[in-house]
A and B are shown apart, each in its own frame.
Chain A
Amino acid sequence: MLRRTFMKTTALAAVASFAMIGTAFAENPILKIGFVGVTSGPAAAWGTSNQRSMETRAAWINETGGYDIGGTKYDIEIVSFDDQKDPKRAIAGMEQMAQAGIHYVVGPNVDDGAAAVRPVAEQNGIIYFPYAFPKELYTAPASNAVLGMIANYQSGPAIYKHLMENNGVKKVAFVAANESDPLSQRDGGVAAATALGLEVVSDSVTYQVDTTDFTPVLLPVVQAAPDLLVLSGVSPANAPQLIRSARELGYTGLISTETAQDAAVLQEGAGELANGFISVGGASTPELASDMMREFVDRYTKMFGEYNDESNTKVYALEYILATMAANPAAMTDVEAFKVTMDTFEAPNPFMVGDAKLKYVGTSSFGQKRQVSVPLVVNVFNNGAFETMFVAQVD
């Protein structure tokens, strides 16, 4: 009798435990957000900082009870796909997102990947946030892509102008990898430099991304004696080697790029030779960062062991997606509702101090609001870390 009672009690307790666990797991519905970008190879640092930013923020939201959209708390799940910087794989990744019923995707990280996924995104009702600069992605009739950062044709002129005024730069040279992104960024840079009245002394030198010795590549560029050497669209893997080769060839002028870089990679690959290297940084500085941004950096570092300054920008895309849905819950499944909301959307920017706002911009560049508003922070590398050179804003 006693044995039977004990077994009944145990069985009841087990059923009750399972029911409680089930209730706990089913507490919040899941909202899936996709990421399609490059997380392996020479440009891996770009996509990795996206993915890790999203995963850090999602884990933080889930830990604190979920994200409130229309009175319901959602747990956020990040579904990631490494496109290996290959447009064909980017298409496969976006198709996978469509099959999973995902309507909001961050990425891809490069021009050809972002252009390749456009038909898939438009046919399947997906809004995507590329880190790629082709204007046709953001200009009507296109409407599903939202630029997740500042474009090179927005940051380049600001950097050149600053260096002309503060460093007396008169002659500029451009070097680019023989790929669509760097070549288009070089052309944009050359046009911007010419418009500002700079003398372009070299713009035809290009290189293969798998180059193992940049000395012969840079020799004719260094011989042209520019005041500023622009590494157009340079990947984090190639930047330290190019800087090192230029310095070893005796080049003493300024070196800059309009792409984001990784301080740890620069330090390992070029050491003190990279001191003075100018690049576009993450959208935050110690002066701009709010407590929430500081906590994000802290959580990211604990989760992945190291932080990438570029994640100061990459943290924004997920926040914009969620905040826009919160402003109009219908946007969760209806991307047309999301697009309508973008025109008037405005919310407090949790990552910046003061009264900074989350809002969509891009009217000047694209004729419609298809860009997230983040501050343009230009950094200079010194002794293993980035220092802020200047901060600007894009409308």
Chain B
Amino acid sequence: MEQILANGLYLGAQYALIALGLTLIFSLMNVLNFAHGQMYVFGGFVTYTVVAQWGLPFIVGLIASAVILAIMGALIEFLLFRPVIRKSKRDESTMLLAAGIAFFLDAVILLLFGEKQRGVPKIVNGIFNWDMRLIMPYDRILIGVLAIAMIAGFIALMQYTKAGRAMRALAQDRMAAQLMGVDVDRYSMIGFALGALLAGLVGGLLVTITGINLGMGGPTSVKAFIMIMIGGAGVISGAIAGGFILGMMESIGLTVLAVYGDITYLAIFASLMVFLALRPQGLMGKPWG
């Protein structure tokens, strides 16, 4: 049981960090960013290039992933989403744009980084073993702690900084925030950049554990959408809750249901359908949006 809980917490921390960026962008701009998984993959490849190819320290790779993805996010918002949102009132326009960006990023990743699975050496060696009841490699513990620290840092940023307050105001009521003097364009761009930065950071963190390859973008986006559906789209605390719930469900399912084959995600999807039928707005979302 201890092992199941630890696996669930570790998975939950990384999932929550992935979902945070997605839900932030949705809450600020009402955009479902289908390219979130590709941004995660891009971040992983940047860290791989800096650490494994150039031989620089892991922290440099992580910072490079964060900076490059933040710039990419800001440019995508400024050059693509802003004009589309200005000209079109239909939600499908931004959804199609996001899907197009996902395909485009897939092609860019293939050209820049190739098609192979890549990984970087372990950043910490050794394994924590508590009497064979709980086994956890130190690098996973470190990545889990870093992910939780980043989530805490993100919450603090949203709670106690001027930019965070402005973004929360935007998320609550765009029109009212504008009337109160919030620069909507500026904070939309900052929000998108922050969402992309989070995706890049998770990619950079996880490349040390899972490695990275071109095909990981789509499934990552799907999992991120599951998390925000569970927690409630556009709600920060909901994304965190959704991440930890999915991580725990996956950990328990893979252990308890292992004898029946790979039915963990079948069970998760079935539960999600029932859950959404009863509570379509998710755990913490509001029925009115």
CA distance A213 to B67 in the complex (A): 26
Given pairs A237-B213, A250-B135, 20 additional interface contacts (CB within 8 A): A40-B214, A42-B216, A44-B115, A44-B213, A48-B116, A178-B262, A204-B258, A204-B260, A212-B209, A213-B210, A215-B3, A216-B4, A216-B254, A237-B117, A237-B215, A240-B119, A248-B137, A268-B117, A268-B119, A268-B120
Residues of B within 8 A of A250 (CB): 127, 129, 132, 135
**Do A39 and B121 contact each other (CB < 8 Å), given the known contacts A204-B260, A216-B7?**
no
Interface presence of A367 (CB below 8 A)? no
Interface presence of B220 (CB below 8 A)? yes
Q: Is the CB of B255 within 8 A of A220?
A: yes
Q: Is the CB of A44 within 8 A of B211?
A: no
Q: What residues of chain B have their CB less than 8 Å away from a CB belonging to chain A? A: 3-4, 7, 10-11, 14, 52, 110, 115-122, 127, 129, 132, 135-137, 140, 206, 209-211, 213-216, 219-220, 250-251, 254-255, 258-262, 265
Give 5 closest A-B pairs by Cβ, nearest first. Answer: A41-B215, A210-B219, A237-B117, A206-B262, A44-B115
Q: Is the CB of B261 within 8 A of A206?
A: yes
Interface presence of A262 (CB below 8 A)? yes
Nearest-CB distance from A94 to chain B (Å)?
21
**Do A217 and B254 contact each other (CB < 8 Å), given the known contacts A41-B215, A212-B206, A241-B210?**
yes
Beta-carbon contacts under 8 Å, A203-219 to B: 204-208, 210, 212-213, 215-217, 219
**Do A240 and B211 contact each other (CB < 8 Å), given the known contacts A204-B258, A219-B255, A268-B119?**
yes
CA distance A265 to B119 in the complex (A): 8
CA distance A212 to B209 in the complex (A): 8
Residues of B within 8 A of A40 (CB): 110, 115, 214-215
Interface presence of A101 (CB below 8 A)? no
CA distance A162 to B210 in the complex (A): 32
Nearest-CB distance from A309 to chain B (Å)?
14
Beta-carbon contacts under 8 Å, A183-210 to B: 204-208, 210
Q: Is the CB of A271 within 8 A of B115?
A: no
Residues of A within 8 A of B210 (CB): 212-213, 241
The chain B residue sitting closest to A273, CB to CB, is: B122
13 contacts between A and B (CB under 8 A): A40-B115, A41-B213, A41-B214, A44-B117, A45-B115, A45-B117, A207-B254, A212-B210, A213-B140, A215-B136, A215-B140, A216-B3, A262-B116
CA distance A237 to B262 in the complex (A): 19
**Do A219 and B3 contact each other (CB < 8 Å), given the known contacts A205-B258, A268-B119?**
yes
CA distance A210 to B15 in the complex (A): 13
CA distance A45 to B262 in the complex (A): 25
The chain B residue sitting closest to A215, CB to CB, is: B7
Residues of A within 8 A of B214 (CB): 40-41, 44
CA distance A101 to B60 in the complex (A): 52
Nearest-CB distance from B105 to chain A (Å)?
13
CA distance A221 to B251 in the complex (A): 15
CA distance A42 to B11 in the complex (A): 21
CA distance A220 to B258 in the complex (A): 8
CA distance A42 to B255 in the complex (A): 25
Q: Is the CB of A42 within 8 A of B135?
A: no
Residues of B within 8 A of A48 (CB): 115-116
CA distance A206 to B261 in the complex (A): 6
CA distance A202 to B57 in the complex (A): 41
Residues of A within 8 A of B216 (CB): 42, 210
Nearest-CB distance from A326 to chain B (Å)?
33
CA distance A178 to B254 in the complex (A): 13
Interface presence of A156 (CB below 8 A)? no
Interface centre among B10, B209, B259 (most CB of A within 10 A): B209
CA distance A48 to B219 in the complex (A): 22
Q: Is the CB of B262 within 8 A of A41?
A: no
The chain B residue sitting closest to A221, CB to CB, is: B258
Q: Is the CB of B115 within 8 A of A237?
A: no
CA distance A265 to B48 in the complex (A): 13
Q: Is the CB of B119 within 8 A of A42?
A: no
Nearest-CB distance from A260 to chain B (Å)?
14
**Do A248 and B135 contact each other (CB < 8 Å), given the known contacts A204-B259, A212-B210, A219-B3?**
yes
Interface presence of A233 (CB below 8 A)? no
Residues of B within 8 A of A15 (CB): none
Residues of A within 8 A of B206 (CB): 212
Q: Is the CB of B262 within 8 A of A269?
A: no
CA distance A240 to B120 in the complex (A): 12
CA distance A220 to B254 in the complex (A): 9
Interface presence of A12 (CB below 8 A)? no
Nearest-CB distance from A292 to chain B (Å)?
27
Q: Tell me which of B7, B118, B135 contacts A268 (CB under 8 A).
A: B118
Q: Tell me which of B7, B116, B261, B265 contacts A44 (CB under 8 A).
A: B116
Residues of B within 8 A of A271 (CB): 121-122
The chain A residue sitting closest to B137, CB to CB, is: A248
Q: Is the CB of B7 within 8 A of A240?
A: no
The chain B residue sitting closest to A235, CB to CB, is: B117
CA distance A45 to B11 in the complex (A): 28
Residues of B within 8 A of A208 (CB): 219, 262, 265
Residues of A within 8 A of B52 (CB): 268
The chain A residue sitting closest to B212, CB to CB, is: A237
Nearest-CB distance from B45 to chain A (Å)?
13
Residues of B within 8 A of A207 (CB): 254, 262
Interface centre among A204, A264, A269 (most CB of B within 10 A): A269
Q: Is the CB of A269 within 8 A of B117?
A: yes
